[in-house]
Structure 1
Amino acid sequence: MLGNEREKIRHLLVIKDLRGRRTVPLREATYSLGRHPANTIVLVSRSVSMQHAILLRVTVPETDQYGFQIIDGNFKGKGSTNGLFINGTKAFSHNLRNGDTIDFGSHQAQAKYYAISNISEEVFSESFDVEDLSGFLSEQASPANPFQTLAIDPSLEAASESALARLASFPELIPNPIVEMDFEGIVTYINPAATLKFPKLREVGTEHPILAGLLSTVKNLEKNSFVREVEVDTEVFEQSVLYLPQSDLIRTFIIRDITEQKQATAELRQRDRLLQAVAEAANYLLGEMNYETGIEQALAILGEAAKADRAYLFQNHPHPATGEIAVSLRFEWTQSLIKSTHHHWQNQVYQGSGLARWYTVLRSGQSISGLTQKFPIAEQEFLIRDGIQSLLLVPLRLENECWGYLGLADCTFERHWSKHEESTLLTMAASIIGARQRQQVEEKIRYQALHDMLTGLPNRLLFNELLSKTLPNATRNSESLAVIFLDLDRFKVINDTLGHTLGDQLLKNVAQRLQDLLRGGDTIARWGGDEFTILLPRVTDIEEVTQVAYRILQTLEDPFYLQGHELYVTASLGIALLDNNSPDAETLIQHADAALYYAKDKGRNNYQFYSVSLSAKNPELLTLEKSLRYALEREEFTVFYQPRVNIGTGEITGMEALLRWQHPEMGLVAPSVFIPLAEESGLIIAIGEWVLRTACMQNKTWQDSGLPPITMAVNLSLKQFRQPKLVEIITRVLEQTGLDAHFLELEIMETTAIEDLGFTRTVLEELKQMGVNISIDDFGTGHSSLSRLQLLPLHNLKIDQSFMRDLQPDSKVAHIIQAIVTLGHSLGLKLTAEGVETAEQLEFLKSINCEEVQGYFFYRPLPEQKATEILESKRPII
C-alpha cells in the first residue's frame, strides 16, 4: 500500500529571540507558540503574548503532501496583544511557504519557515545549523513549497480567528488519545490525552502496544482504516487506525477504554464456566454410587473450571488421641505440577495450631477468602508451607453443624477471588453435602438391610455374604470352617407366657452372651425368630468346633434375670464342616440345619455334627419341614371355608374348614405338600387342634351374629384320629368355643376308617354320643365297601371329586356314582358330591337325588371375611 519511495519534505522553523537562535523540526500536527512555559515552542520576549500563535498542520488537497498554517491567538480564539506579521504584513492566519518570515509582535521574536526536500532524518534535528542555508541547499537539499499549487478553501480563508483556533485546539483538547506515526516508525504527533495516558509511548515507539504491528498491518491493508483491540498492561482499549498515504502517516485514535467491558465479559464467561462445572459435578455426585469417587470427580471439574491450582475438601472430627476437635484433608485435586499436601493436613487440632480462627469463622457459616500475606502470621505458616498465595474456603454444613470445608487455592499468583467463585463454591458445597447425606442414608439402609434390628447382629443376608467371602480363603489356605445352626429350645413358651416384649429382651441378652464367648474372627448372625447362625473360620481341628459348641451350651446354663423373672433357656445346635460333602455356602447351611433338626430329635440341649446319613431326606423338604415347625407360632396358617350347598334349595347347609399355609418366602404352599410332612413329623396333632378350634370358634361367631346355623366340617388326619386323647380334645374345644356338638362334623378318610375297624367304631360311637356328626371323606378311593362301612355310626358320605372329573353321561363312572348314592340312601346316609364344576354335573347329581354338593360351580374356598359376606347375603329377609 505504501508504493514506491517518494520525495519527502521536511519542515523546519528557525527561531530567533532573546534566548538565541535554534532550529525546530516540525513533526507534530499542532504547536502552540508563546511566552508561557507550557507552550510547545517557547518564545523569549516581552512583546510575545502568553500564547501568541498556533501552528497547525494542513494536508494539501489532491496531493500527498502537507504544509503548515499559522494562526494568530490562542486555542480559545483570543488574538495576541502585539499581532502576527508574515513577511512584514499583519495576518490573522497564513499558509506558510518556504522562506516566510514571521514576527511575533516585534523583531525581538522572529521565526523563519523552511520546507526542504532531499534531507535525511539524521540531519533533520534541532542541531541542524541553517546559518549558511543557501550553500547547504545548493549542495545537498532543495527548497520545496507544498502550497505553490494550493487552491485555498474559500471557507477557510474567510474563517474567523476563533474558528481556526477551535479547529487547531480539537486534537489538543479532546480527551481521547490521538497518536500519529510516519512510515519509518517515528511518532510525529501525540496529543496531551495520549501523553497523559501513555507517558512512555514516544520513548518505546513501535514496541508500545498502541503502535505495535501497525507498520506491517497497513502494508497489507485493502482499506485505509480498521479497528482493533489493544491491551496495555491490565487495560484494554478499542483503537481506530487511519492510514494517510498522502502524508505518509498512520493516525490512531483510542475510541474507548473497554477494560471494564472485557473484565465483565470475562467474568460472565468464567461464571458460566463455573455454573456448568457445578452442574456437571452435581451429576457426578448424584449418579456416582461410590461417594469417594464422586467427590474426586467433582473436585477435578471444579478446579479446572475455576483455573485454580488446588481444590480440596477438609473434614472436622475428634482427634483420635485427645478427642479435641481437629481437621483432616480427605480429598484433594491439584494441577499437574503442584505437589499434594495430603500428609500435612492430618489430625490438625484447631486450638494451638494457629487455625482456631478458621473453625470459628466457618462454623458461623461465613467464608474465608484472601491473599496469604493478609492472613494472620500463624495461618501464613501453614499456607506458605504449601506454596499457597491466595485461598478461598467455604463451610460444609451437615445437620446445622460445620462438618468441614471446601477450598480453592492458587499457588502461581495472588488471586482475588470473585463473588461468582465464592457463590460457585458454596453451591458445590451444598451438592457435596447432599451427596454425603445420601451416602449416610444409603449406609443406614445397607446396615438395616444387613443387620437384625432387634439384636444388632448380622442377618442371614450378611451372614451368607460373609460365608461366601470366607470360603475361598479357607480353600486357598487348606483350612476348613464350620457353620453352626443354633435354635433356642421351647422359646415359644416364654413368648406365650411372659409376652413378646420380654421375649425380645431375652433374645438380645442371648445374642450378647453368645457374642462375648466367640473368638475374634467368628461371626454370629440372627437367622430369624429364635434361630442364630455362627461362622467359625480357620478351623484346623474338629476339637476346636466341639469346644465352641460346648461353651455355647454352657454359657446358656446361667439364668437370665429380666423384669423380675429368672429365666432359663437351652439350645440345640447343628454343625456342618467344610468338606467334600459340604463344599459350598448353600450346602453348608442346609447341612447345619439338618443337623439341628437331628439335635432336636435327640432331646434338645445338645449339638450334633452333620453326617451323610442325614441327607436321606430331600434338602428342600428338610427346609420346608423346619419352617413347618415354626409356622404355627409365627401365625402363618389360616383357615379357608368352602360352602356345602343343598341341590334342591340352593341354600348353604354347611362349611368345610380347609387349612392354608402362607410361607413368608415360598408363598402359598400346597396342602398336598405340607400335610404329609406334618403327618410324618407329628406336627399335624398341634396343627389339627388349631384348625378345629379356629373353625368351631368361627361357626359360633356366625351364629352369635344372627346368621342361620350351619354345620362346620373339619377333617381329621390318621394321626389325629388315632391319638389317645382325641375325644378329650374335641370335648375341650367345644366347651371352650361354646359350639353345640351337632354343628360340628368330623371327616375321616375312607382308608383311615377301615385301617382298624374296631378302634374306629369305638371312637366314632363316643363322638356320636356327644352329638358330633361323622362323615367319610373322599369315598370311593379306598378298598372298602358300604357293607363294611355300615358297621360304623356314620351320617354322611362324600363322593370323591375324582369321579366328577371323569363323569360322562351313560359312562361307567355315572353308574358307579348312581350306585353309591342309592346304597348310601339305603343305609340312611346323606350324600355330598365334591368337585362339582359344571351345570351338567349338577343336573346329573340332581337326577339321581344326591342331596348336597361342593365345588367351584358354586364357591371356591373363601377366606373368613369373604365367607362371612356370602352368608350375610343369604340371610333370610324377615
Structure 2
Amino acid sequence: MLHHVLTVEDPQGFRNFLLNNMTYSLGRSLGNSIILRSNLVSRQHATLLAVTSKKSSCFFRIIDGSIEGKRSTNGILINGKKRFSHILSHGDEILFSKDTKAVYQVISAITNIPKSNISQNQITKSSYPHLNNQPFDETELFRFSPLQSIAEQDISAHVHKTVNQFISSPELNPQPIIELNLVGKILYLNPAALSQFPNLEEMRISHPLLQELLVQLVPLVNPVSKFFMREVMIDDKVFEEIIHFMPWNEVIRIHIADVTKQKQAEAIIAYQSHHDTLTGLPNRKYLHEHLVEVINKLEDKEQQFAVLFLDIDRFKLINDSLGHSVGDLLLKAVSDRLKSLLKQGDLMVRWGADEFAIVAMEIHSTDAVVQVAESMIQALTLPFNCGGHELHITTCIGASIYPDHHTEVEGLIRNADMAMYRAKAEGQNSFQFYVPNMQEQSFQRLSMENNLRRALENNELLTYYQPQVDLISGQIIGLEVLLRWKHVSLGSIPPSQFIPLAEETGLITAIGSWVLRQTCLQAIAWQNMGLPPIQVGVNLSIKQLQQKDFLSCLQQILEETNLDPHFLELEITEGIMMDNVEEKIILLNEFRQMGIQLSIDDFGTGYSALSYLKNLPIDTLKIDRIFIEYVTHSAHDRTIVASIINLAHSLNLNVIAEGVETIEQVDILRSLGCDQIQGYFFHKALPAEEIEALLRAQGVTKPNKIEP
C-alpha cells in the first residue's frame, strides 16, 4: 500500500503529515488542517484535494488559496515555478514563502518517513470537518508537531467554530455551489448559483452544468472514490466543476469555477509553443506531432506523402547587410508566397532561421513531388520588395517520401534535410530527392568537418603561391596565395571540397586569419633571404569582411610580421559587393589608407559591378578563367574580355587574366592590351621553396620575355 506524506519545514521546525483524507487546508490560521507557522504565509494559503483516476488509485492536487477560490497573497511555487493548480508527483517541492516549504512524497511504508523528524511524543490526533461532510476517522491522519499541544476544550471549541463557518460558507461563497441527489433532483443552490445560472431550476438535469453528470458519477459509487473534476462549455465560457459524492447521505455537491481566462491563457501558451512568432507558421514541434498523427492514420493504407525542406540561399548575407528588420520582412513574404501554393491538407512550418518544411499530402508519384518543388522555386524567383529594397533570392529543396524513404518521423525529417544539403551543393535553385547513400555522405561530410577543425592544430594546411607574370617583360611581379590541405591519412584534399565546407561552418574566419599571417611571414622571410620585395595576394571571404574586429586583426598581423602593407594585396569577389555597397566602400578605403592593394577577383561572373566600379578604391581587375578558356575560338568571349580590359584601363586599373594555359591565349590577351597573366602556361601554384628558386633565378638572369 502506498502512503502520501507531506513534510513541512517552517520557522518552528519539521513536521510530517500522513495524507489519508480527501481535502486539507494549509495556512497560518489555526483552523487549517495543516498549520504553517509563519507570518509570511496567508491565513489559508493552499488546499490539497485527493484525486482518483483509472491510472492511479489516488493522488493529490494542490490549489493556491481556499477551495472557495480566495487566492493567497504570495502564491505557491512548485519546483521553482508559480502554479495556481498542480497535480503533485513524488519529490515535488512546494514553496509557500521564503521561510516555509514542503516536500510531497509517496512511500511504500510508514517506516520510510525520515525518523530524524518524527518522535512518538510529537504525534497528536487531529480532527477537521472536510468539504465532503464525511465523518472524520481520527485513525486516518496523524499530525506531527514539534512539542506543541492544545487543550481538549480549546480543540473542541475550535472545531465547533470551524464547523459553523463551514456550514455557512456556501451562502457566502462567490462561486456557484449545487447539491443534488442520485436521481438528479436539485436539493440546493447557493446564491451565486442562482445569480449566475437563473435557469438552473427550470432546466434541472438538462442544464449544461449537469448534463451526463449522473452517467459519469457511476464509477464513483465505489466507496474508495468520491471525487472527480470535469470541464463544461457554456456559450463562450469554460467552467470547471469539482464534484464530490457523499455516499452516507447520497448527495452530490458541485463547486463551480469560471476558468475561461485561465483556459484562454493556456490556449495562448499552447499556440505559442507550437507556432513561430514571426511568420505565424507552425513550428518544428507542431511538425513532429503532425507527422506522428499522419503516419498513424496511414499506417495500414497504401498512401504516400512527401516532406520537403526548403532553404533560402545567402539569407545570412541579406540579414547582415541590410539588417534583421529587412530579413524578417523577407521571411514573412516568403512564407506568404509559399503558403499560397499549398493545397488542402498540406502543411508548411518554419523549421529554422531561413529553413521551411512542407508536408505535401496525397502524393501519387515522384513527378508530383518534383512539380511541387519546381512551383516553389519558380514562385521565389520573382523579386521581393522589403523595406524599400528589391531582393532577388534563390532556394534549394530536398524531399523524402513516406513510406519509400522512411516510415518514422525522425527518419523522414533527417532524410529530407540531407537531400536539401545535397541540393545546396548542386547550386542555386536546385532540388534533390533523398537517396540511400546520402546518409553515408552526410557522415563523410561530418567527418571532413571534424578533420578540418583539427587541420590547423595538426599543421596540415599549406600555403602555395601562383606567379603573376607581366606580359611585356615576362617577369614575376606578383603572387596569389592558394590554400592546400594535406591530410595525414587522406592525402591531398582539393580546395573545392573543403573551402565551401569552411565557409558553411564558419571555420573560414580562423583559416583566413591563419593564411594572412602565414603569407605575411613568408613575404618577410623572402625579403630576409635577400630577394626583392614582391606583392602577395590573399583572397578574402565574405565572413571575414563581416567580422567586427577584422580590421584590427589585420593591423595586428601586419605589425607583428613587420610586412610593409604595400606588398599585401587583398582580393574580393563581385558577389561580396552585392549589398551595403556604401559600407563596403568605407571598409575598402580603410584598407587603402593602410597602404594595402585591392583587387576584384573573378570579374564578370557575379553581380554586375559596373554601376559602382568607378567608386571602388581598387587597383586591379582579374578576369575570370571562364572567359579566358574560350577566348581563342569564341568571338563572344573575346568581346567580353576586350570590354573588361578597356573598362579597367579607362578607370586606370591594372588587368590580370586568370587561367591562361596556351600561347594562343597569350597572343590574344597581348593584342587586347592585357597587363598580366596567371595560369599553367607559366607556372602552377608552387610551395614557398620553389617560388624562392624562381625568384632567385629571375634576379640573376635577364627577364623571361614571352615571345609571340
The structure having more radius of gyration, on CA atoms, is 1
Instruction: Report the TM-score when normalising by structure 1.
Output: 0.32
Structure possessing the higher relative contact order (Cα contacts under 8 Å, 6 or more residues apart)? 2
